[in-house]
Each structure stands twice: as structure tokens, then as C-alpha cells.
Structure 1
């Protein structure tokens, strides 16, 4: 399997919520910034409802949806600025 197809397979499995442990060397894994910083954000009710619907669809918490979406957007902006 080529490196590119292995990366694509990893991404597909990760996005689908499948087991990716065969692709990770857990002995060297580390958290980049393990200390969370709490922030409070007010959202309109329609956003909270939409977030809750998406969280339910994915089987995760509202907080997880928010964190992943914000991380995706920040990464996208970082890449476009480079």
C-alpha cells in the first residue's frame, strides 16, 4: 500500500469512527497541549439545537462537535495562510 493510500485509509477510518489503533504508535503518542482552557460562549438557541442534532447524529457530545469544527476551521486558515 502506498503512503498516500495509507493516509487516505487512515482518514476514512478515523472519519467513520472505526478503530485506527493499527495506524498509531501509542508508545510515542502525546498530547500537544494537554492543559485545557475553559471559555464561555453564548450561542443562539437555533445553533444549540443544530449542534445537539449533529452531536446526536455522530454519537458524540456537543462540546466535541464544537471543538472539532473549530479545530478544522483553524487548521484550514493556517494552511491557507502558509
Structure 2
């Protein structure tokens, strides 16, 4: 394997992100030496959004969530994720 390039020092995470978006990590990392890592307690980051729904729709969602014994916001997230996954498979 050819000699690896030295990874630059970054001032901040944004600078590092910009660098890796335009450079191939294979030039800097010997991936043949990589080992699989597991982060079981790592939670995905979330972002709060504002979503306006008709009250009747929100009431129906809350009824469905209650039937499943789960918070209605969690049910909305499940439905959205399922729909996105299904659309991705049909493309």
C-alpha cells in the first residue's frame, strides 16, 4: 500500500467536516487495520420541529397511539420513518 497522507489539524468540527466532504479517507487511513466498533448507548440526535396539524387529525393520531400504548409523538415518528423507508425501496 502507498504511504498514507498526514491528516491535517482542524480548528473545529465544521472545518473537519468540510475537509472530509472533499477528500477520500482511503488516502489518510489504512482501512485494512480497522476494527468494528459498537456504541450501544449512543442515541441519535434529534431536532425539535413545529408541525401544525388539524385538531381532528391530531385527535385521531392520539387515539391510535393510545391503542398501541405509546406516546403520540413516537407513533408519528414511526409512521414517518416507515413511509420514508417504503418510498426509498420503491425508487
Q: Shorter-chain TM-score: which interval?
A: 0.5 to 0.7
Structure 2, unpaired ranges of 5+: 1-37
Q: Compare the two structures and name the one with the higher helix fraction.
A: 1
| Consecutive unaligned residues in structure 1, runs of 5 or more | 1-27
How many residues of Structure 1 are paired with residues of Structure 2 in the alignment? Answer: 55
Aligned pair partner of 1:40 in 38, 44, 50? 50
Q: Distance in 2 between matches of 1:72 and 1:32?
A: 22
Q: Scaled by the length of structure 1, what TM-score is found?
A: 0.59
**What CA RMSD, in Å, does the superposition of the two structures yield over aligned residues?**
2.4
How many Å apart are 1:35 and its aligned residue?
0.7
Q: Residue 55 and residue 74 in structure 1: after superposition, are their counterparts in 2 closer, same or farther (change >3 A)?
A: same
Larger radius of gyration: 2
TM (norm. structure 2) is 0.53
How big is the shift at 1:37? 1.1
